Structure 1
């Protein structure tokens, strides 16, 4: 059962849309269109955009409305370091709390991610990737840490990284390594696999022209 409020559901939809590239960086987010798409009133959409503005996903303008924040390359190294620190804490706690049902759901998302990349649907793959990592960290039951991680994700170039040729295959293998470590109950291996996953993605971006 989904216990999130309407505002939280809209915010998560928009986070996924921004990270996946469905809402490109710099594009305007029209409240009426979003509300119609989700079959909701304007109010939860407006409140969700305020939340995302506070997190750094969007910037507000009283005349033009909300727009997706452009990627800040100058901040990427610092964001990488913070992701490694906080996501290592989350995955270690996930390893302590993960259940067989959690692993089944995570495996399904990992398979969906791989299938999307194989059929060439990169926006769908990026969206599934967001849901995979969000589900992975929900298991940790550390909502404040996850909140700060989501703020970091707003500043991270997922769309650029996953657009690099061959990255999908590598990411799918890295997801498998994370899940295998969790299945084995090896928290240290899970942390190492997650750090490898984050660092290799950033390395791909640095090497790309």
Structure 2
């Protein structure tokens, strides 16, 4: 994996924090506080916030400062379709390039995910889910495609979907199926598992929302 700059490392920390709910939608991000949390100065924090503003995770307002962007529930159906298309492309490419160390990293994350799901830790499941997909997709070495995927993640209601009853247990199972296919180098099974994983949460949410 390529070396991260300070800005990229902080952007990754913030991105994970937004997806996991550590930084709630609509909350204000204080640069000084983030600098202290990440052990850096204000300058790389400011640059990281600009990166995430470009991706859509953050709204930059001159008076209020940086605010975590809300998701767009009305656009989610289209977002899901785009996620399936682009994430399938990334996962297929990644399967051709994954190193032994990256495979072991995915195994370790799956173990953490199973443990978090078993103890009902929703926030941890969201964080580990993010790390799993990020590790897999970075291996594809398709930075422009990954950038588009991140803009979709910024607009996806992970927060609401993760609160569904038993969703984290089902997500953990979906991940295990994905990982098994990756380890077996079975592209067809991996794509089927990934598509199921991306669509399942949204379909479950729609069913609960309409009910």
Q: TM-score, normalised by structure 2?
A: 0.95
CA contact (8 A) 1:60 1:67 kept: yes
Query: Is the partner of 1:208 in helix, strand or coil?
Result: helix
Match of 2:44 in 1: 44
Query: Is the partner of 2:61 in helix, strand or coil?
Result: coil
Deviations 1:156-179 (A, max 9, x none): 111111111111111111111111
Query: Is the partner of 1:59 in helix, strand or coil?
Result: strand
Gaps of 5+ in 2: none
Match of 2:147 in 1: 147
Query: Is the partner of 1:111 in helix, strand or coil?
Result: helix
Q: Does 1:24 align with 2:24?
A: yes
Match of 2:85 in 1: 85
CA contact (8 A) 2:117 2:172 kept: no
Match of 1:202 in 2: 202
Moved over 3 A (4+): none
Match of 2:66 in 1: 66
Question: How many Å separate the matches in 2 of 1:14 and 1:208?
Answer: 29
Deviations 1:8-56 (A, max 9, x none): 0010000000000000000000101100111110001111111111110
Equivalent residue pairs, number: 209
Query: Post-superposition shift, 1:2?
Result: 6.4
CA contact (8 A) 1:95 1:186 kept: no
Match of 1:95 in 2: 95
Match of 1:178 in 2: 178
* Aligned alpha-carbon RMSD (Å): 1.3
Question: How many Å separate the matches in 2 of 1:79 and 1:137?
Answer: 18
Match of 1:162 in 2: 162
CA contact (8 A) 1:92 1:188 kept: no
CA contact (8 A) 1:90 1:142 kept: yes
Match of 1:189 in 2: 189
Question: How many Å separate the matches in 1 of 2:166 and 2:204?
Answer: 10
Q: TM-score, normalised by structure 1?
A: 0.96
Gaps of 5+ in 1: none
Query: Post-superposition shift, 1:101?
Result: 2.4
